[in-house]
Each structure stands twice: as C-alpha cells, then as structure tokens.
Amino acid sequence: MLKFYFNGSPNPTKVALFLEETGLPYEPVPVDTRKGEQFTPEYLAINPNAKVPAIKDGDTVVFDSNAILLYLAEKTGQFLPGPASRGELLSWLMFAATGVGPFSGQAVHFRNFAPEQIAYARQRYDFEARRHFGILNDRLAQRRYMVGETYTIVDMDVWGWARAIPFVLGEEGWADFPHLKRLVDEVSARPAAARAAVLKDKFTFKTDWDKESRGYMFRHLAAAAG
C-alpha cells in the first residue's frame, strides 16, 4: 500500500486531496516536524530535504508535493487535462512550486513567526505572495478552472496554499482575489477536500511553539548561534 508522509500544512494537504479524490488506498504516516521527526535517519532516507510531503509507492519514492501530484495523476490517469493542455499544466504546476508556495511560506514566517519584525522582509514577501495570488486570480477571471475546462491537479495545487490566504496575508487578504476565492470555495465544498482537511486531526501533532520546536523549524537560528 502507498505510504503518505504528511502533516497538516498546505503542501501535504493538497496531496491528501488527490488521494481522497481518487480513492487510492494509502497509509498515512504522520511526521511531526515540531518534534524534529523530519530529521530522523529513517525519514531522510525518504526525503533528503527533510520536508513533507513524501510518498513511498512500492519501490518508488517521490517527494515535493507538485512532483507527487504529477506522479499520481499520471499513475492513475485522473485529474489531467487533455494532451493539448500539457504545456499549460506543467507551466502552472511549476508556477505554484517555484512561486506561490515559497513566497507564501516566507510571508507566513515573517508575518507570524519571525522572532523580530523586519519591515523590509515582511513587505517583500507580502508583496510577492500577493503578486502570485493576483496572477492566479486574473487567470481564473477568464475561466472556471486553471487549465482546460475541468478540475485538475493544478486546481488542487492552487487550493493547498490559497485556502490559507488569511494566514498568509491577514484577514483582509481575500479582498483582492474574488475569482481565486470562488475556486477555493468550490474545491473546499467537495467531500474529498473535507476529508483531506481533517486527516491531521486523526493524529496528535505537537502544537507548542517552545524552544525545541523553534530549533527544529528554524534551524538557521541555531546555525547562526554557532
């Protein structure tokens, strides 16, 4: 059975959505990153980058949420557009992988978790996260879904981070992205999305932001301290 290494953050949740949409049998394997479980030798053998999600499908290991979505879509033949739209599919997947996720993650860090408020950093990442969400919003102003005429893995990918816009940009964050919100609301209303969103609740993850958690999540602080 496929093993799915995850926690409740946006990138694993979009993979959980695909698994729930397709009904693929899988074994969820929680990785508690606030306890440092991503750095165990066993997990580093799965993902040397020490991040979630990852999957193990027989002898095949795949890490990075976008790579997993593409792998599983091609494996099952589900939630892919027609061949003529493959270029668009790859373009938007990479746009999310290289822009939406990284800039949103940094915006979250400097808004909510940085030990000191750095105005320049917060402004830069807030701007870039908004810019990327704005590009998605403009795309969706012209069509129901991101690629082609049907729901695909790109919509799942976008949903993963866009559903967290209030956390990324603040409670007023949705104001500039009505078309993106329309997509997020549509996907969130799907039964598979409801199951994906609560998968984390079946397990106990550490919630405290104590010194140990910060040491695992923000390793640059320990490195800087020497």
Please, is 8 exposed, middle or buried when counting C-beta atoms within 10 Å of its C-beta (0-12, 13-18, 19+)? middle
Sign of CA dihedral 146, 147, 150, 152: negative
Q: Mean pLDDT in the chain?
A: 95
Distance of alpha carbon 124 from alpha carbon 95, whole angstroms: 18
Its pTM stands at: 0.95
Distance of alpha carbon 140 from alpha carbon 39, whole angstroms: 39
pLDDT at 215: 86
Joined together, the tokens standing for residue 183 give 């997509």
Joined together, the tokens standing for residue 125 give 């990442």
Distance of alpha carbon 104 from alpha carbon 63, whole angstroms: 19
Distance of alpha carbon 96 from alpha carbon 102, whole angstroms: 9
* 8 A C-beta contact, residue 197 and residue 158: no
Q: Which residues of the chain have pLDDT under 50?
A: none
Distance of alpha carbon 131 from alpha carbon 154, whole angstroms: 18
Domains, the chain, in order of start with CATH, read 2-78+195-221 (3.40.30.10), 83-189 (1.20.1050.10)
pLDDT at 210: 84
pLDDT at 154: 98
Q: Report the DSSP beta bridge partners of residue 56.
A: 3, 61
Distance of CA 96 to the CA centre of its chain: 9
Question: Cis bond leading into 53, ω under 30°?
Answer: yes
